[in-house]
Each structure stands twice: as C-alpha cells, then as structure tokens.
Structure 1
Amino acid sequence: MDPQTLDLARWQFGLTAAGHFLFVALTLGMAPLLAVLQTRATLRGGDATHTVMVRYWGRLYLINYGIGIVTGLVMEFQFGMAWSGLGHVAGNVFGASLAVETVFAFFVESVFLGLWILGWDRFPKGVHLAILWVVTGTACLSAYWILVTNGFLNHPVGHAVAADGTLVLDDPVALLTNPSTLLAFGHIAGGALLTAALFLAGVSAYHLYHRTEHYELFRRSLRLGVFTALPALFVTVVFGGLQLESLTTLQPMKSAVFRREAEEVARLQAELAARFGPGDYLPNEALTRGAGTLMMLAFALLMYGVLAAVVFACFRRAVYHARPWHLVLMAMVPLPYVAMTAGWVFREAGRQPWVVYEVLRTEDAVSHLSAGRMGLSLAVFGTLFAALIAVNAVLLLRAARRGPVESPRS
C-alpha cells in the first residue's frame, strides 16, 4: 500500500466522520428535549408557550437533521469507496448492524419525523406526541447500532475466523454487549444531550441579551437548557472516565501512550512485534495525547461554566438582566463540539495502526486506489462537507435569530 494513499484515506475518513458527527450530536440531543417540551404542552392542555417552544426549536432541529442526512449519505459513499478491504474482511460481522441502523435512521425515524412534521393539527395531541417519542427512540437506537460497529473495531468480540481468513459473526450477544459499545453509547448520549442543552441556552441567551419580544419563552428555554446541561455533563464525564479506565485492558497501548508510561509502551511494542511481526505499533503520540488533553480541557471549562450557569439560572432577575452571563452562555455553545470531536479523534487515532484492533491493519483495509484518485476524492468530499457545514450554520443562525413565528398569546 502506497503510504500517501493510506494517509489521504485516513484524512478523508477522519474529516467526513467528524463533520457528520457535528450534526449527529445536536440532532440526537435535541430529540428528547423536544419530546419533553411537547409532553409538557400536551399535559397542560395545549399550553401556548410550550407549543410555540416546540415549533421554534423543532424548526432548528429539522434544519440540522435534514442536512445531517445528506452528510451521512456522503460519508457512506466515501466509506465504501476507500475502505473495501475492511468490508471484505469484517463485513460479515458488522454488516448486519449497519443495515439495521439504516432501517432505523432512514426509514423508521424519517417516516415518523415526516408524520410529526405534517401531523400538527391533524392528529390528536396524544398521537402526535407519541410520534415524536418514536422519533426520539429510533434516534437513540440508530446511534447504538452505529456504535456496535465502532465498538467492534475498537474491541473485536463475538467473531470467528473463517478458512479464507475473513471474520464471521460467532456470538451476537457478545457483539451487542461489547463494553466498548456500551460505554461509548453512554458517553455519546450524555454528550449529545449536553450539546443540545447548551445550544438551547446559548440561543436563548442571545434573545434575552437583545431584549427580543419573546422573553418568557426564552427564559423557559434558557432554564431548560442550563438545568439539563448539568446532569448531561455528569453522565458524559462518568462514562468518559469509565472508558479511560477500560483502556488498560481493552487497548493498553493507547492507555500507556496517553499516560506517558514509556516503559509500558516499550514492553507493549516488543510484545506486539513478537505476536504480529516487526513493525511500529505505536499510535501517533502527539495526536493521541493532544486530542485527549484537549477533550479534558474542554470538559473542565464546561464543568465550571455549567455549574456557574445553574447558580445564575436560579435567580429570575439574572436570567433576564445578566447580560455578561448571556455572552458567556453564547460562547459556551461550541465547547461540547470541541470536546466531543477531540474525544472522537482520541478514540480513533489511538488504536492505530489497527482498523480492527489487533486483527486487521489499517493499511490492509484501504482500497487499491492511486494516491491521485484518493487525493481527488478527498478534495471533492472535503469541499462538499465544508459547503454543507457552512449552509447548515447559516440556516441555523438565520432561523435562530428570527425567533418564533407564532406568538404564545395568539
């Protein structure tokens, strides 16, 4: 394998996967918040303010969801084109989980989301609410099935090796209960909820800072975001800590590199060379440690910011009039994206040189393409993703600044 082709393929997957995850984090976290808001509106007999809140935040959710679907399709294309070796060797194991995820994400979730969009004033309120809860549940299931695949790549379990050297599914229960999958799911679910909660708080702070007319709506939204962010942050940090502890047994080389344990790194390098032949079995140390450190720094800032926000949100006057605090909340919106992207880089880069840990090397999983073709592919996919991210940002900002179309008093 041409080293240049391998590097270009890794950059392509890294950029497209990280770009797609920017959409997933907000979509996955917004769904339960919308469901809770609509539940409150339904239980209160169609409370006007909560109904307008659902419609407003639902519009932002749909913008992010729609463009996120496009990025997911693009990522699937590049994955199939650039990593045919992975599908050939391990597709029999994780192919089913990807297929189930597609059913949930592109069929069940999309169909019910369409029913929710078109169902306002057409379905009974209870039915319309149930549809949104189905959307929320399928979004979580979709994330879980994706992590079944990713968990297998990081900690391959439940498989056997066929006579031709390919992997076959041997123990479905082991695959579905993989600790690498379950811990990552808890971490991602908490992080996504944190992302959405701070998005609500930040956008609401913008409107309160500018004294827009829907002050009561955004007061409630800000408090919902802030008070959701605290338990979401706690869940994220707990599952992140459990993942770090699990690395000592699941991926000891990554753990040793991150903790700067030089003697352990040397021992593991010698052990892996004896098992798999001569070679460099160290991940990129600067990238692994740098991403892990950035992730922890971002979460530390989030911890201080969220704790302070909870205190401020307890005082009605501060929610309305503390304009410096409003600026801080707006500035905090990107922090979960930074933390989760850095965490993803740490998770993926830290297992190199393996695409399936200690089973399949990354260089053996890349399609047999020339560096020129891979470079062209990277340029096309990179440009397309940059355009989609820019369009999403512009549409979200425009819709967020516009505020609710309906009035709670109407």
Structure 2
Amino acid sequence: MSKPALLVLEDGTVFHGVSIGAEGFSVGEVVFNTSMTGYQEILTDPSYSQQIVTLTYPHIGNTGTNSEDEESSSIHAQGLVIRDLPLIASNFRNQRSLSDYLKSQNILGIADIDTRKLTRILREKGAQNGCIMAGEHCDEAFALAKAKDFPGLKGMDLAKEVTTQEAYAWQQGSWTLEGGLPEAKDHSELPYHVVAYDFGAKRNILRMLVDRGCRLTVVPAQTSAEEVLALKPDGVFLSNGPGDPAPCTYAIEATKVFLEKGLPVFGICLGHQILALASGAQTVKMKFGHHGANHPVKDLQRDVVMITAQNHGFAVDEASLPDTLRATHKSLFDGSLQGIHRIDKPAFSFQGHPEASPGPHDAAPLFDHFIELIKQHTA
C-alpha cells in the first residue's frame, strides 16, 4: 500500500504525491534535470549534495539499479521527485528496484506529481528551497517552515563535507558491456602520476583518466599544496563537487601554488570554478543552473558544437576574466561561459562533464588535452 508524500516549495506551492522512498522529511534546493536516463548516476553524484532532484522525463526506474552504475559510495541527493515509477524494473543488469534502493539508503522520494508544472516554476522563479515529507503524518505547515529555514547553497562550502577522509590510489579503468568493471591496471601500464583533488569526484572521471595512462592519487579537498608537491605529480586534477566555490579558499590557494610551479592542471565543474578563482576571475550563482545530458556547447577554438552533460548551479563570470585567461567554450542555451584556458600556464578547465555518466562523450577529448600537457611538461 503506497503512503502519501508531499513536496512544499519556499514560495508556498504544494505538490501531493506518493512516497517511493524512506519516510520522514528532507530539505534542500530543488532543481530539475532533463536527462532521460542515468538516474542512478545522478543520485550518486556528490555534486547533488543538499539538492532535491526533479527528473523531467516522466518514467523513471524502468531499469532498476545496480552496484556498477554508482558514481560514489552512496546517494548524495537529498531527495528524488518524479512523475511515474514503473511497476516493474526490467533490465539484465537490475539488482534492486529504484524504490528499494532509495529506502536502503534512507532517501526520500515522491512520485505521481506534475513535474512539468514544477519545472516551469523553477524555470520562472529560479531554483527554490523545498521540503519533501513522506508517511502518514504529512504536515504542510511544518514542511513550508523547513523549506524557508534552509539557508540555500550560496556561501555554502560542501566540498569538504563530501570529500574522502583519506588519500587513496585509483587504477581502475572504464566499464565495458563485455567485461563489466575491470581489475585495477598494473603500475607499469600507467606512466603518468596525477594527483586528483576530491571535491566530490565522480568515479567515471577517475576511470577515464586511468584509460589514458594515469595512475591516480586521490586526496581530500583540504590537502595542502605542499603535501601534493611532495607526491611529485606529473599533473593535478581538480574534480567536480557541490556547493559554492567561493568559500573553498583552501582549494583556491593550493591551485595558485600549482599554477606558479607550472604544473599541468585540469578542472571539471567545481574544479573549473576553482581554477578561475585562483586565476583572478569571479563566480556567480545561476538562476536555475544547468542539469541535464543534452546541453549544446560551442568549442570556440575549433568552431564546432558538442552535446554535453551538465550539472552546476554556479558559473564563472566571463566579464571578470583576467588577461591570463581565454574563454574556450560557451553554452548555446544561455551564452554562459563553459571553458577557460590559461594563456601563460598549462592549465585549463571545463564547466560541463566530459566523462558524462550519464550523457554523451563529445567532450571526452578534453582528457586527451590534459595528457598532452602532461607529456609536454615531463618531456
């Protein structure tokens, strides 16, 4: 027997539906994602910390869940909002239903609401704070108060909350249909040593670096530049992650040191914003952000368009770019800055997700550019 659930936005809008996850309440910034597939990767992406994810595609849960598609060790989204949960999960890789998966990690979910109406509200008014309640005793007034009390993501440093507590090695490459997830590669197969900062890193990013010959030392977000330099890396990777980049002063200061030393640096998502801030640019909070797997981005150097995966609520302000940074990519949805490259250092970054998971691989050659910079540096 399904139990009732409700979603209340800070503007007072109320949606009634049915619970598909744990009981209780959960609060966060409500955002929408336009991806048709990849719901498990989305839920386990640490960049969604403190956010309630609305999926605009109507039927979510068709293929169930499995251990191989997780982008981290747990669900990081505060909750899930969908239109319809199919009765049967049908896929040869399915291990448990989406509903059971949510319950196993004590995550709230709500279905049977008008996600088109919710998405329109978020597009017109911007991302809003919200509260999901599930169970027999849903209280609209309580949920509204909780939504209004949520401080929002601006000024919130979440990278240090989701990061690994200890450094670790990563040498596993990408999943394949024929073989699944492979064993870790031998040290001899990985000629480049890269230190990867974990601000909320997705596993597929690490795998794509390994595919290109990188043996990784993944370090906590607040690791000092001195500690990283002592590891003698050939390059430094700045990962994706949640929250506002501006309060991450520890990462910004460390990146400044790497730039001064001339180390190759590659940043994705939050890492892109960290590189920009370390180079003297500024970041801004977006109205409702970019969340989806079909975002067109123009490569300004090659004059080509890529379809990319996106997940961010902050962006680098192009007007603030110093002379040492050139714009390399722009969104064709809203013209926002998507990529930068230092003209004086071997450092660059991309706002979207070239590793996809879920999404297209049009931007994957950015990983190859990082390897080119490492080869030049170590030659």
Greater relative contact order, per chain length (Cα 8 Å cut-off, separation 6+): 1
Q: TM-score, normalised by structure 1?
A: 0.25
Bigger proportion of residues as strand: 2
The structure carrying a bigger helix percent of its residues is 1
Larger Rg: 1
In the superposition, the TM-score normalised over structure 2's length comes to 0.27
